[in-house]
Amino acid sequence: MSDASTVISFEKISNETAKGEPIFSKGLYHWIMFVIDFYSRVRSTLKMDIESFVILQVVVSHNLYELNKTGSKTYSEVEYEITNIRENKKHRKLTFASIAEVLQLPRETVRRKVLQLCKTNILQFNTSEGIKLGINYKSIYKEFVTQTTTDISILIKKWKNSGALQKLLEMDKN
């Protein structure tokens, strides 16, 4: 038998919600709309399927990991480094197998999609240096990343205004 003092009644929850407690569904709705818009922009703006996009994100994250080894960077510094692709022999080589492992995708799927991204110069690949960002990633960064950053800002402002952001910040796994 449970202790009545630890059970929260529906009436109490309703009263807290009426007193300004953020409603979870609004925050979730804003998140889902962000994800749908993001997915739609990947398909329409980048003309890319979601698996190719996620593979690209693994390559980007690898570059950011290497870039952050020298310290955190501002938005402008990241843009400069990403859009002025330079040869850097110090970086660890990124392979089809490592991307496949991270994403739990078949290696052949990764290889096929990487080679397709190489045809449009979004990625580059050679056996000695591995998979790298290509020269055309510059336009993705300047347009797509900028719009996504703006969209994230709008999402967070909506969460802040509804009180959902504060609730998220206070959440604990336990």
pLDDT tens sequence across 118-151: 999 999 999 988 999 999 998 888 889 889 999 9
pLDDT tens sequence across 70-119: 888 888 888 888 767 655 555 678 999 999 999 999 999 999 999 999 99
Tell me how far apart the terminal alpha carbons of the chain are, to the nearest angstrom: 22
Q: How many CA atoms lie within 13 A of 89 on its CB side?
A: 1
Does residue 18 surpass a pLDDT of 50? Answer: no
* pTM confidence score: 0.77
**Alpha-carbon distance values, 51 to 47, 104, 117, 172 (Å):** 12, 11, 11, 31
Three-state DSSP state, 125: strand
Which residues touch 26 (CB under 8 Å, ≥6 apart)?
Answer: 162, 164
Point out the least confidently predicted range of 16-30, 36-50, 61-75. 16-30
**Domain residue spans in the chain?**
24-166
Task: Tell whether domain 24-166 is in CATH 1.10.3470.
Answer: no
